[in-house]
Amino acid sequence: MFRTTTLILALLALSSGALLAQKKGVTSPSLPPSANFSHGILAGDTLYVSGQVGRGADGKRPESFEDEVKATFGSIEGILKAGGMGFEDVVQVNVYLTDMTLFDRMNKVYVTFLPEPRPTRTTVGVSSLVGNYRIEITVTARKAGAGGGARQRERRKN
């Protein structure tokens, strides 16, 4: 019994070590580095993108809400590219809005970035976000394997 338990524990330690070895931080060169969190974490073929806000080129929140949403997706796009992915690989989106009356305006911009079939999405109203931003978005992306993702969508078009 002792040997079996020891063997199982050793195998678990090896497999969890292998999983941790697959975990890699992903940083977009267009975003300021953060000492507190990673822009994204690539674990195997899945990329988890931290919540992004819409900083303009000057580092401040754009005046227009639509420009803020576009800048948010621009930040996400940089992280996706750094992880070897694109919007076609996104499978889950979480949107946080400080004003739910902005939902339709957000959605008009959202559909221009995320291709069909669109990822699953949760949209939540929150009382405030850091830096007086009106929107924060986080995504999870998974690299499409052979026959999936962009290739599969291209075949459907033809």
Q: Give the dihedral of Cα atoms 90, 94, 98, 99; nearest 10 deg.
A: 80
> Is it true that the peptide bond before 33 is cis, omega within 30 degrees of 0?
no
pLDDT grade, residue 71 (50/70/90)?
very high
pLDDT at 38 (0 to 100): 82
50: which 2 tokens? 């931290």
The predicted-structure confidence for 80-107, as pLDDT tens digits, reads as follows 999 999 999 999 999 999 999 999 999 9
The model's pTM is 0.76
Angle, vertex CA 90, rays to CA 154 and CA 127, nearest 5? 145
Q: How far is CA 135 from the centre of its chain?
A: 14
Q: Residue 127 corresponds to which amino acid?
A: S
pLDDT at 33 (0 to 100): 62
Least confident of 5-19, 83-97, 137-151: 5-19
* CA-closest candidate to residue 80, choices 33, 140, 36, 121: 140
109 has a pLDDT exceeding 50:
yes
- Which of the pair, 93 or 12, is modelled with greater confidence? 93
- Which of the pair, 148 or 39, is modelled with greater confidence? 39
Angle, vertex CA 129, rays to CA 124 and CA 134, nearest 5? 70
The predicted-structure confidence for 31-51, as pLDDT tens digits, reads as follows 666 656 788 999 999 999 999
Mean per-residue pLDDT of the chain? 82
- Which of the pair, 153 or 53, is modelled with greater confidence? 53
* CA-closest candidate to residue 110, choices 126, 90, 130: 90
